Structures are given as C-alpha cells and as structure tokens.
Amino acid sequence: MKTYERFIKYTTFNTTSSSENENQTPSTEKQRVFGQYLVEELKGIGIDNAYIDDKSFVYASIPATKGKENKPKIGFIAHLDTVEDASGENIKASIVKNYDGKDIVLNKEKNIIFSTEKFPSLNKYIGNDLIVTDGTTLLGADDKAGIAEIMTMAETIMNNPNIEHGEIKIAFTPDEEIGSGIEYFDVEKFDADFAYTVDGGELGEIEYENFNAASCKITVNGVNVHPGYSKNKMKNAILLAMEFNSMLPPEQKPQYTEKYEGFYHLGYIQGTEEKTKLEYIIRDHDIEKFNQKKEFVKDIINFLNKKYGNNTFVLELKDTYYNMKEKILPNMHLIDNAKKAFNECGVQEKIVPIRGGTDGARLSFRGLPCPNLSTGGENAHSRFEYVPVQSLEKMTEVLLKIINIYAE
C-alpha cells in the first residue's frame, strides 16, 4: 500500500485527545480504537510481536537481518492523537492533483477558500498532489502522516528480505498533543539505542532543539458586593486578572515572536467577580531566560498580593518539559545521518528549532536520545492543514535510507 493511501485511511479515525481528561491515559477511548487497528495492521504485514498495552501505547519490533545483529537498535515513534484546536471528526480528505498554484475551493457550499495569499507555502508545491480537507476539520497529518510513513517503511522491509537492517523498534503513543501520555512510555521495554520521532512539518526538517516549557495556572480570589454598594469593598477578580495580564511584557506574546524567541501565552480565562482563573504556557529555548520568565511571574504575583492581600492571587507553576539539545549534542550522529539520508534521497535538509514540544524531548531526558524528523505536513492544527502526496512517499524513502545508513 502506498503511504498516501494508508494516510487517507487513517484520517477516518477520530483520535482527538482531551485536556479535560489529562489525568487518564489515553484521554479518549478513540485513540485506543486506532491503536488496536494499527496492531492488527502490523500483524497483517508479518510483525507478530505487535501489541497495545493498557495505556494504549503500541509497540512492535522487527528483528535484525542475519549478520546485522550487532548494529544499533533504531526506534521510530509517532503519536496517535490529534489536537483539540480543530475538529477531528468526520474528516473528508481529498486530493488536489497536479496543483496549479491557484486558490483552492475546499468547500463550495460554505465558501471556504484555501487562499495562496494567506497561505503562501502552497506556492512551494505547484505540480504536487495535495491532500486537503473540506475546510471544516483538521486533516490529522500531525501525526497520522508520521504513522503512515513508519508503517509503510515497516511493510517495505517485511516484503523485501534482501533489505539489510539492524533491529528496528516501532511505537505509537497517545496524548502527545496534551503532553501527558509520554510519561507512561516504557523506555526499557522499547529497548532502542536511540530513536526518531516522525512528527515534524515541511519535508527536510530536522529538529533537535525545542522549548523549555512550563504551565502557569493562576486563581484570582475576589470579593463580590452589590455594585451599587461596593465602594471600598469590592475586589473584582476579573479586573485583577486583567491587571496581572497587563503586567506581562507585551512584546513577549506568541504573535510577536519567532525562531528562538520565547513567550507567555494566555490560553484560557474564565471567571466572575468572586473568582477568576487564568492558564498560561511559558516557553523559551534558553534555560536562563526560561527561568527568568518564571521568576518574573512570581514577582508579579508577590507584588499584587502585597497590594490586594495575601492569597488574592494563587499561583501553580509547573515545568512540563525541557530543551532536548543537551541530550542530542553527545549523539550528533543522529543529526548527521538524518542529513545524509535526506541528501541521498534528493531532499535539502533544514535544521530548525521546534517552537513547541515533542515526545522526543521528554524521552531524551529519560535516556533515549530522540530528535524529530519531518512528516511533510503543513499548517498543523488548522482547518487548512495539508500534506503533499509526494512528501509522504519521499519521507518513507528517507526512513528506509536512515535504516540503510545504520546497517552499513
């Protein structure tokens, strides 16, 4: 089966994870349904040891070919879930063949147009066949494209006994998008020397630097009094929350940052005069700047509590993951061989920092060096997500080339 055919099949599974259920893994049962399907597919191509555990992690391995048993054990990892930001239900994937560079009508009935002015990345793919949605849902290339590429790589190896390789490890993980699943990943059971997550964007991207990340939850406790009789009595928690937000540096909002620049991002606010809750994420590639950002939040909280009274502002600040760079630098063969694989497959590689997180970051800190590779997808987390057929097939070729390089 071609990678793109496999991918389109996978888009029919709704695997949206749920941050409301982040204390259970998987956060949604539909991820498990997809994982069970993949286990059966793995077994169907001859990988009999494939299984899904009680947390919905899918594990499988392909034994080394004769004479290659001493070669490194390489892992390939992708995630089952899709993001909550756009609907993952009833995805209608279609192929725009031989894309001509013009705006694409995704949904004539609802007048949803995929505009080249708004999305100039389309211009890179003139002549390609683009897999798109009908504009009402995401596509799910993040990360079903990665799963499809790994699965097709595995099928190619199982169908071609002449391909020499070391032991190959495969895993598909739940709840990557909400950042809670990977803590249950069994590194010892996976038993790889190192791995790649296949969870990136544009074809050719290699990522081994990601944000240091923290979650920041603030509860503002106010005092509500009838507004007609509230002078010198009311403490409006909504307004106090707004005051806190106004004290953060405006230039460090995500919409004003790029590349290695960090940010504070308000992702949730809900409340009344009596109680208001704020939820932020704090990000920076540089660990010193990251720590400074956290300390700045604490300073603001302390200042406002002195101003309005103790426990008016209650802060819950928690680190969630760290920049994997320090764990990859001693294992730069992973990056060098990925570059070589892309180049030998006719693709110009591009080293880019991840402006987000990845399962590989946390795995790297647990002893499994794990940089990230492209899938070929564009506009992740969006109703205008798409992936070129040619990128899917080429990325499968790149994975096979990486295996070949390590076998040599």
User: Of 84, 142, 167, 176, which one is the catalytic site residue?
Assistant: 176
What tokens appear for 59 in the block?
């594990």
Cα separation, 280 vs 270, in Å, equals 12
Quote the CA–CA distance of 42 and 64 in Å, as a whole number: 17
Q: What is the pLDDT along the chain (408 residues), one digit of tens a residue?
A: 999 999 999 999 999 999 889 889 999 999 999 999 999 999 999 999 999 999 999 999 999 999 999 999 999 999 999 999 899 999 999 999 999 999 999 999 999 999 999 999 999 999 999 999 999 999 999 999 999 999 999 999 999 999 999 999 999 999 999 888 888 999 999 999 999 999 999 999 999 999 999 999 999 999 998 888 889 889 999 999 999 999 999 999 999 999 899 999 999 999 999 999 999 999 999 999 999 999 999 999 999 999 999 999 999 999 988 999 999 999 999 999 999 999 999 999 999 998 877 889 899 999 999 999 999 999 999 999 999 999 999 999 999 999 999 999
> CA 398 from chain center: how many Å?
20
Q: What is the CA radius of gyration of the chain?
A: 23
What tokens does 171 get? Answer: 């895993």
Amino acid type, 302: N
Residue tagged 């990000």 (tokens): 283
CA-angle at 73, arms to 67 and 75, nearest 5°: 140
What is the predicted pLDDT for the residue at 321?
87
Count, residues in the chain: 408
Residue 81 annotated among the catalytic residues of the structure: yes
Q: What is the pLDDT of residue 391?
A: 98
**pLDDT for residue 320:** 84
Provide the pLDDT for residue 77: 98
176 catalytic? Reply is yes
Among residues 81, 84, 142, 349, the one annotated as catalytic is: 81
Q: What is the largest CA-CA distance in the chain?
A: 85
Confidence (pLDDT) at 317: 97
Burial class (CB in 10 A: 0-12, 13-18, 19+), 219: middle
